[in-house]
């Protein structure tokens, strides 16, 4: 038998075929994400959940008689699902657009991402409650069973069908957008929605239908995927991150680019499985990193949309809540008495996550970069601290410092890659890079896969303070937190911090003043990663474990949620947010799988109703009260601080 | 059927008021200009008529119907067409796609051949990308594409801005021909000399209100008067 580089053609072509199938799904989904991103400026994180809905929709139709035994409904097979489910998922998408997504069009792009992250958590959480991790079986329709023997390999009919149908749908979509009147409306509305409305076109309805269409594509992909993969609540969770990476690689502004990139990356992934199986889960993210170095706009990208820093800060610099020296003392005293009020372990969890959120706020709140991969720094530091303490017997402080060093290193590398893009791209890139670390930790031998590194010794601080004593450990963590908090306050108040804020508010202006803004952003990003690493390393010692959860994107989402609930860009916001989120997680822990639903709802509610966060709202209220008093005592009204641009 | 009638039109950008009670009339078939310095509120008035300025009050009657509170897409379908100051040629669309973008809202729009006769340059470049056109051609295209739709009232925002004198002349000819064809035109201008040769009436706008009204005869008799309003 002929072999190719020592690999049988069956294996080679088999994997290329599987890769091509994956590529079809990547293409269909990244097409939807790219259309929604292009037209609506929404980074549709809920796309994976909508794909999952499609697969479940097909499964439901098949099992109608079992689901509603009394109604005498027929079991609707694959071909029905192929038509009905995309329409239904599209309709659900239209409702979601009407109820939620429409409300954030005029806001910073970051809110759209946060909102869809929340919606994805709610939907996937609900299905998780209903179906758990187990996958449901969905049979290949009878008419597509069997296959053809091509001589060198066996090609199942269903897979051939998926490839032909998927690519046809992609091409039809491309044609509609690039070559028809409807497509011209869409492209024009992307450039100047107001003018298109002034020509008499109902742009809001068109945007709703565009979203529904993109989502319907995900639903269709879900139906087509149902017989190939298991129908499970988790099926959309990881694919969306890959899809984001595909969109980054393809670049915006090119529909055909999204299709081609999806297909190509699927095949590359398949080939990698043949030649270097371990790397197959990460190859797309590595390609993304390489593309970012050489072609930051993506392979087919023409333009950079949504490419400005997100000024979402809600702080009022002169308020009493922004006085770092004062609050350092108050937090010190409050922290000192906390272990006598709550369990020290609970207190330490709050402190670790508060430091993590503060570190995150440094880059998100003060520089306006929507990082979405801080789990990589938190988690990698946790792993390194745990490993050096457990396996190499490093003393505690040295173990944590090793973790911090690792986080700093990764932070500098990721920052160097990611600062080439801004806005939503920055989020997608950091998310994808963090996923790289996650997949590495699943496979590397020293991280022990699903088990993580357990039984990490707490050890002795400086060789003589016994950290296995809860209070000793607690006060050590408190000290670490206060040092981190003070450092961040120092950073943002320094001239360096002023430049960071100017970048947040208007980067071109900062550049025109002669600042090399990329260098500032990189330094800030690295500092943020370093402090996130400090939080992660400390956490590994406190809880004596480093696990995959530390690296999972939900940890990044936690950092975002804490910062958002507390108040983006405020001094105390992340701390308040950490208290709220950790308490919430503890209170709802008994609900099991519902926690994720609750957390997702918190995301959605925050984006819709509490955009300024608890601290930001409080600062507004205090400022308004001070202003009222000043006017009451005869002062003139102050000019509006944040003017409206006309 | 009556033309456009604007009564006590007020408009806001956020908290700051830009229009403080505009009053003017444009009868059917007339060419009327809004003249005034930068920032007087001329463009804002057009945007308020079109519904692009959301925060507005007062009365904008067209064909007897008050359009305040209506969405832009509704207003466009009543037969008002808008040509913005920045021209708004879509970069990702070809010339022809730009031309066909505004949907037909009523019968009686100009036929494509007539449009190409009126704008020979556009016909030559119909397959180019929208932004490959020169400034003058872009302006022609911006006007051309709203003639097809059957709209009877054209809002033209500074069509001569930044264009060479010969092009300005061409645009003047076009507007005169449009008037002959029965279009009603509300023209925002800073170029008084250009406007004075075209319009039946001029409204002078300052601080978001109309401070004076001049007929074509007034301007012909006393050009100084109108220039005084606009000099810096």
Mapped to the 3 state alphabet, what secondary structure does A221-283 carry? Answer: HHHHHCCCCCECCCCCHHHHHHHHHHHHHHCCCCHHHHHHHHHHHHHHHHHHHHHCHHHCCCH
Task: Give the pLDDT of residue A309.
Answer: 63
Q: Do A187 and B92 touch (CB under 8 A)?
A: yes
Q: Do A200 and B105 touch (CB under 8 A)?
A: yes
Find where tokens 């279009």 sit: B183
CB A531 within 8 A of CB A406: no
Interchain contact A340–B (C-beta under 8 A): no
CB A52 within 8 A of CB A127: yes
Task: Give the pLDDT of residue A414.
Answer: 95
Over residues B95-102, the mean pLDDT reads 92
CB A587 within 8 A of CB A599: no
Q: Of A195, A301, A303, which to mutate for an interface test with B (greatest number of B Cβ within 10 Å)?
A: A195
- Residues in A closer than 8 angstroms to B13, CB to CB, are 644, 646
- Mode of pairing for the β-strands spanning A154-156 and A147-149: antiparallel
Instruction: Looking at the complex, report in whole angstroms how far the Cα of residue A266 sits from the nearest Cα belonging to chain B.
Output: 29
CB A15 within 8 A of CB A8: no
Q: Do A203 and B18 touch (CB under 8 A)?
A: no
pLDDT beneath 70: ranges in chain A = 1-5, 253, 302-310, 636-646
Q: How far is the C-alpha of A360 from the C-alpha of A376, rounded, in Å?
A: 12
Return the CATH superfamily for domain B4-90+146-230.
P-loop containing nucleotide triphosphate hydrolases (3.40.50.300)
Instruction: Looking at the complex, report in whole angstroms how far the Cα of residue B109 sits from the nearest Cα belonging to chain A.
Output: 14
Tell me how many helices (H) and strands (E) chain B has: 10, 10
Task: Give the pLDDT of residue A60.
Answer: 93
Instruction: Looking at the complex, report in whole angstroms how far the Cα of residue B92 sits from the nearest Cα belonging to chain A.
Output: 7
Q: Do B103 and A192 touch (CB under 8 A)?
A: no
Task: Give the residue from B16, B85, B88, B77 showing the smallest Cα distance to B47.
Answer: B85
Q: Which of B13, B52, B77 sits opposite A200 (nearest CB)?
A: B77
Tokens of A126: 């609900």
Which residues 178-237 on chain A approach chain B with CB closer than 8 angstroms?
181, 184-185, 187-188, 190-192, 194-203
The single-letter DSSP state of residue A144 is: G
Interchain contact B91–A (C-beta under 8 A): yes
Q: Of A198, A253, A641, A645, which to mutate for an interface test with B (greatest number of B Cβ within 10 Å)?
A: A198
Q: How far is the C-alpha of A290 from the C-alpha of A615, rounded, in Å?
A: 40
Query: Hey, where are the domains in chain B?
Result: 4-90+146-230
Q: Do A187 and B16 touch (CB under 8 A)?
A: no
Q: Which of B14, B90, B146 sits opposite A644 (nearest CB)?
A: B14
Instruction: Looking at the complex, report in whole angstroms how far the Cα of residue B67 sits from the nearest Cα belonging to chain A.
Output: 13
Query: Looking at the predicted structure, is the pLDDT value of residue B1 above 50?
Result: no
* % of chain A at pLDDT higher than 90: 52
Give me the half-sphere count of Cα atoms (radius 13 Å) on the Cβ side of residue B37: 9
Q: Do A200 and B90 touch (CB under 8 A)?
A: no
CB A241 within 8 A of CB A432: yes
More confident: B215 or A88:
A88
- Residues in B closer than 8 angstroms to A184, CB to CB, are 93, 97, 100-101
Residue in chain A nearest B79 by alpha carbon: A200
Size of interface A-B (CB pairs under 8 A): 72
3-state secondary structure of A488: helix
Task: Give the pLDDT of residue A639.
Answer: 55
Residue in chain A nearest B92 by alpha carbon: A187
Give me the half-sphere count of Cα atoms (radius 13 Å) on the Cβ side of residue A499: 19
Q: Which of A187, A192, A201 sits opposite B88 (nearest CB)?
A: A192
Beta strands in A543-631 (DSSP E): none
Instruction: Looking at the complex, report in whole angstroms how far the Cα of residue A185 sits from the nearest Cα belonging to chain B.
Output: 7
CB A390 within 8 A of CB A515: no
Q: Do A195 and B82 touch (CB under 8 A)?
A: yes
- Measured from the Cβ of residue A186, the count of other Cβ atoms closer than 10 Å reads 24
A423-443 and A396-418 helices, crossing angle to 10°: 130
Residue in chain A nearest B73 by alpha carbon: A200
- Mode of pairing for the β-strands spanning B31-35 and B80-83: unpaired
Long-range contacts of A277-286 (CB under 8 A, 24+ apart): A278/A443, A281/A439, A281/A442, A281/A443, A282/A436, A282/A439, A282/A440, A284/A242, A284/A245, A284/A246, A284/A249, A284/A432, A285/A245, A285/A432, A285/A433, A285/A435, A285/A436, A285/A439, A286/A436
CB A16 within 8 A of CB A231: no
- Residues in B closer than 8 angstroms to A199, CB to CB, are 73, 76, 81-82, 101-103, 146, 149
Instruction: Looking at the complex, report in whole angstroms how far the Cα of residue B175 sits from the nearest Cα belonging to chain A.
Output: 20
Query: Looking at the predicted structure, is the pLDDT value of residue B51 above 90?
Result: yes
Side-by-side strand order, sheet with B184-189: B80-83, B153-157, B184-189, B31-35, B201-206, B209-215
What CATH architecture is A9-294?
Orthogonal Bundle (1.10)
- Measured from the Cβ of residue A349, the count of other Cβ atoms closer than 10 Å reads 21
Task: Give the residue from A28, A59, A70, A227 showing the smallest Cα distance to A130.
Answer: A59
C-alpha triplet A234, A133, A272: angle, nearest 5°:
50
Class of residue A637 by CB neighbours under 10 A (exposed 0-12, middle 13-18, buried 19+): exposed
Q: Do A181 and B92 touch (CB under 8 A)?
A: no
Which residues 178-197 on chain B approach chain A with CB closer than 8 angstroms?
none
- Residues in A closer than 8 angstroms to B100, CB to CB, are 181, 184
Interchain contact B198–A (C-beta under 8 A): no
Distances (CA, A) of A457 to A441, A451, A466, A547: 21, 16, 11, 15
Q: Which of A181, A192, A646 sits opposite B100 (nearest CB)?
A: A181
Task: Give the residue from A58, A32, A91 showing the smallest Cα distance to A243.
Answer: A32
Interchain contact B116–A (C-beta under 8 A): no
The single-letter DSSP state of residue B133 is: S
Q: Which of A191, A195, A202 sits opposite B84 (nearest CB)?
A: A195
Q: Do B92 and A203 touch (CB under 8 A)?
A: no
Beta-carbon contacts of residue B161 (< 8 Å; ≥ 6 apart) = B85, B190, B191
Q: What is the tens place of the pLDDT at every residue in B141-176? A: 999 999 999 999 999 999 998 899 999 999 999 999
Find where tokens 């988690």 sit: A379
Alpha-helical regions (H) of A391-469? 396-418, 423-443
Q: Which of B73, B84, B90 sits opposite A200 (nearest CB)?
A: B73
CB A515 within 8 A of CB A471: no
Interchain contact B127–A (C-beta under 8 A): no
Interchain contact B13–A (C-beta under 8 A): yes
Q: Do A184 and B101 touch (CB under 8 A)?
A: yes
CB B129 within 8 A of CB B90: no
Phi/psi at A306 (5° precision) = 55, 35
- Mode of pairing for the β-strands spanning B80-83 and B153-157: parallel
Q: Do B91 and A200 touch (CB under 8 A)?
A: no
- Residues in B closer than 8 angstroms to A191, CB to CB, are 90-92
- H or E segment to which residue B83 belongs: strand B80-83
Instruction: Looking at the complex, report in whole angstroms how far the Cα of residue B193 sits from the nearest Cα belonging to chain A.
Output: 29
- Name the β-bridge partners of B212: B204
Global pTM reads: 0.87
Find where tokens 């992250």 sit: A117
CB A72 within 8 A of CB A83: no
CB B139 within 8 A of CB B121: no
- Name the β-bridge partners of B5: B25, B61
Interchain contact B81–A (C-beta under 8 A): yes
Task: Give the pLDDT of residue A108.
Answer: 83
Could you give the residue range(s) of every CATH 1.10.3470 domain in chain A?
9-294
Task: Give the pLDDT of residue A463.
Answer: 77
3-state helix, strand, coil in chain B (%, to 5): 35, 30, 35
Task: Give the pLDDT of residue A644.
Answer: 39
Q: Which of B14, B16, B101 sits opposite A199 (nearest CB)?
A: B101
Q: Do A199 and B84 touch (CB under 8 A)?
A: no
Task: Give the pLDDT of residue A642.
Answer: 47
């Amino acid at each position: 038998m002929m072999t190719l580089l020592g690999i049988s053609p069956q294996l080679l072509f088999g994997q290329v075929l599987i890769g091509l199938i994956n590529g079809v799904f990547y293409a269909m989904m990244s097409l939807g994400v790219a259309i929604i991103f292009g037209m609506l400026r929404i980074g549709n994180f809920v796309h994976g959940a909508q794909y999952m809905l499609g697969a479940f929709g097909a499964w439901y139709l098949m099992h109608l008689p079992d689901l509603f035994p009394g109604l005498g409904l027929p079991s609707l097979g694959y071909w029905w699902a192929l038509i009905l489910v995309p329409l239904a998922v599209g309709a659900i998408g239209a409702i979601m657009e009407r109820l939620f997504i429409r409300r954030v069009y005029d806001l910073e792009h970051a809110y759209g991402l946060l909102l869809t992250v929340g919606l994805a958590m709610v939907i996937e959480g609900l299905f998780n409650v209903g179906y758990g991790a187990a996958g449901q079986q969905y049979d290949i329709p009878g008419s597509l069973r069997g296959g053809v023997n091509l001589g060198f390999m066996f090609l199942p009919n269903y897979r051939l069908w998926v490839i032909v149908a998927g690519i046809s749908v992609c091409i039809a979509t491309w044609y509609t957008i690039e070559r028809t009147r409807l497509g011209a409306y869409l492209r024009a509305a992307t450039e100047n929605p107001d003018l298109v409305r002034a020509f008499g076109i109902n742009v809001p309805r068109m945007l709703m239908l565009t979203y529904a269409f993109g989502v319907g594509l995900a639903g269709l992909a879900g139906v087509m995927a149902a017989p190939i993969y298991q129908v499970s609540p988790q099926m959309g969770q990881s694919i969306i991150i890959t899809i984001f990476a595909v969109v980054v690689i393809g670049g915006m502004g090119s529909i055909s680019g999204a299709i081609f990139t999806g297909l190509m990356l699927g095949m590359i992934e398949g080939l990698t499985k043949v030649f270097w199986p371990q790397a197959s889960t990460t190859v797309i993210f590595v390609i993304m990193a390489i593309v970012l170095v050489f072609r930051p706009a993506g392979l087919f990208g023409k333009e950079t949309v949504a490419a400005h820093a997100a000024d979402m800060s809600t702080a009022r610099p002169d308020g009493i809540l922004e006085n770092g020296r004062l609050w350092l003392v108050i937090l010190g005293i409050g922290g000192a008495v906390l272990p006598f009020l709550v369990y020290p372990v609970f207190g330490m969890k709050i402190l670790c996550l508060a430091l993590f959120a503060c570190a995150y706020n440094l880059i998100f709140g003060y520089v306006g970069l929507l990082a979405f991969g801080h789990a990589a720094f938190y988690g990698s530091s946790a792993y390194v601290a745990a490993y050096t303490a457990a396996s190499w017997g490093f003393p505690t402080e040295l173990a944590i410092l090793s973790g911090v060093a690792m986080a700093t290193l990764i932070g500098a590398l990721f920052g160097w890659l990611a600062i080439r893009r801004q806005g939503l791209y920055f989020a997608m890139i950091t998310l994808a890079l963090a996923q790289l670390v996650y997949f590495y930790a699943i496979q590397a031998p020293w991280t022990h896969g699903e088990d993580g590194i357990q039984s990490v010794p707490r050890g002795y601080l400086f060789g003589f303070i016994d950290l296995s004593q809860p209070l000793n450990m607690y006060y050590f963590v408190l000290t670490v937190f206060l040092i981190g908090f003070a450092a961040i306050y120092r950073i943002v108040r320094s001239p360096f911090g002023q430049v960071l804020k100017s970048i947040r508010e208007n980067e071109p202006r900062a550049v025109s003043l002669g600042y090399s803004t990329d260098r500032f952003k990189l330094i800030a990003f690295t500092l943020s990663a370093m402090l996130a690493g400090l939080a992660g390393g400390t956490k590994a010692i406190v809880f004596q474990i480093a696990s995959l959860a530390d690296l999972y994107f939900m940890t990044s989402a936690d950092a975002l949620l804490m910062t958002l609930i507390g108040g983006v860009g405020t001094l105390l916001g992340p701390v308040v947010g950490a208290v709220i989120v950790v308490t919430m997680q503890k209170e709802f822990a008994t609900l099991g799988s519902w926690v994720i639903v609750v957390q997702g709802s918190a995301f959605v509610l925050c984006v819709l109703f509490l955009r300024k966060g608890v601290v930001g709202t409080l600062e507004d209220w205090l400022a308004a009260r001070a202003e009222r008093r000043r006017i009451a005592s005869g002062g003139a009204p102050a000019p509006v601080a944040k003017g409206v641009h006309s | 059927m009556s033309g456009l009638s604007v009564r006590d039109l007020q408009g806001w950008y956020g908290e700051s008021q830009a229009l403080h009670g505009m009053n003017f009339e444009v009868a059917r078939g007339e060419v009327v200009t809004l003249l005034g310095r930068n920032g007087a509120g001329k463009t804002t008035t057009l945007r308020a008529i079109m519904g692009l300025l959301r925060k507005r009050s007062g009365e904008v009657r067209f064909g007897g119907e008050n359009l305040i509170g209506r969405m832009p897409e509704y207003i466009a379908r009543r037969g008002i067409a808008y040509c913005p100051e920045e021209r708004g040629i879509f970069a990702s669309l070809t010339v022809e796609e730009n031309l066909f973008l505004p949907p037909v809202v009523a019968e009686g729009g100009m036929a494509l051949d007539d449009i190409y006769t009126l704008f020979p340059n556009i016909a030559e470049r119909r397959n180019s990308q929208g932004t490959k056109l020169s400034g003058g051609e872009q302006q022609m295209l911006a006007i051309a594409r709203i003639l097809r739709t059957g709209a009877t009232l054209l809002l033209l925002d500074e069509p001569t801005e930044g264009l060479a004198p010969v092009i300005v002349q061409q645009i003047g000819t076009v507007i005169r021909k449009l008037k002959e064809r029965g279009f009603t035109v509300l023209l925002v201008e800073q170029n008084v000399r250009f406007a004075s040769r075209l319009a039946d009436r001029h409204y002078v706008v300052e601080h978001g209100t109309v401070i004076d009204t001049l007929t074509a005869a007034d301007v012909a008799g006393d050009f100084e008067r109108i220039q005084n309003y606009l000099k810096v």
